[in-house]
Amino acid sequence: MKHLLSVDDLSADAIQQLFETAADMHDVQRREVKKLPALRGRTVVNMFFEDSTRTRSSFEIAGKWLSADVINVSAKGSSTSKGESLRDTVLTVCAMGVDGLVIRHPASGAALQVSEWVDASVVNAGDGTHEHPTQALLDAYTLQRRLGSLEGRHVAIVGDLTHSRVFRSNIQCLTRLGARVTVVAPPTLMPSGVGAWSAAAGFDTSYDLDDVLRRDGGPDAVMMLRVQRERMTGAYFPSPREYTVGYGLTRDRLAVLGPDVPICHPGPMNRGLEIAADAADAAQSVVLEQVSSGLAVRMAVLYHLLAGESEGGMA
């Protein structure tokens, strides 16, 4: 594997192989000295053209714990703020001998475009509303650790689907691992053409969250998505309160879920809008577990891209 641009690049076997490596990386987090020599001598540049706390920190720590030299570049501190093109910026950076490039960009398809310009391995850390493959991998990894297997499990993905790259990557990842997925959103936040897409990809759609939570014993896991108001150009729902009433994971809806049903959220959370504090902080919430899993999964991704099994760096 040269790049990780999309979940579609990975077979089910390849995903499970990444999860096995991530499990080993998870053990590293419990060590007193959290360092592996796997990427010693390699250089990884995190180029983030959108704000990020979790993903950038996660990739930075992952690279450093694998002993790579890690450099962070943001849009505000780069030559792009002076008008330089993305192509010239990444070519300049990669001319310094970079081995891995982790890129987040507001334009869908940016990571793929960059991968065609450079020799370094490219990891898509989120491109526009297109994909966020490592987020989907860490979500599935977290759920698999909780549920044992995703084969035949029912996962409900709820919220702002139109603007969510997490949703698009999760659909591919969860269905590839055998999960049954139902996506729930108000009509205004359901992606156009979702009917044909759901038929082809094998997932269900609903506008009624309460029905999905109560039908057939309810889902095995619930994934709440952030309302991305910064990407909205119009009024997608009448008011925050009406959104919460229709699609928020409220205290009443939390009571409907079984106590062992994991609650996921990729963060950052809008407490009181898409998720109540009771749900975010519930014993069954795996939000912080997702963060921990994210570090392990990103270590696994960098390891497979830049070290390979022949390096034997896991000892």
Is 106 labelled a binding residue? no
Is 186 labelled a binding residue? no
Is 165 labelled a binding residue? yes
CA distances from residue 160 to 110, 156, 163, 167, 203 in whole angstroms, order as listed: 22, 13, 6, 9, 16
Is 104 labelled a binding residue? yes
Is 53 labelled a binding residue? no
Record the tokens describing residue 221, joined without a space.
């896991």
At 35, give phi and psi (nearest 5°).
-140, 135
- Do the beta carbons of residue 150 and residue 144 sit within 8 Å? yes
- Do the beta carbons of residue 96 and residue 116 sit within 8 Å? no
At 257, give phi and psi (nearest 5°).
-70, 150
Is 82 labelled a binding residue? yes
Q: Which amino acid is at 74?
A: S
DSSP state letter for 9:
G
Is 313 labelled a binding residue? no
Place of tokens 């398809």: 109
Is 248 labelled a binding residue? no
Task: State how far Cα 176 lies from the chain centre.
Answer: 16
* Distance between CA atoms of residues 51 and 276, nearest Å: 24
- Do the beta carbons of residue 104 and residue 55 sit within 8 Å? yes
Is 228 labelled a binding residue? no
- What is Dmax (Cα atoms) for the chain? 57
Q: Where are the alpha helices (DSSP H) in the chain?
A: 12-28, 54-65, 86-94, 110-115, 133-147, 165-176, 194-201, 209-214, 240-247, 251-256, 277-280, 287-306
Name 158's bridge partners.
184, 224
Is 130 labelled a binding residue? no
Say whether 285 sits in a helix, a strand or coil. Answer: strand
Q: Which residues are annotated as a binding site?
A: 54-55, 82, 104, 132, 135, 165, 226, 267-268
Q: Please enumerate, by residue number, every residue annotated as part of a binding site for L-aspartate.
A: 82, 165, 226
Q: Which residues are annotated as a binding site for carbamoyl phosphate?
A: 54-55, 104, 132, 135, 267-268
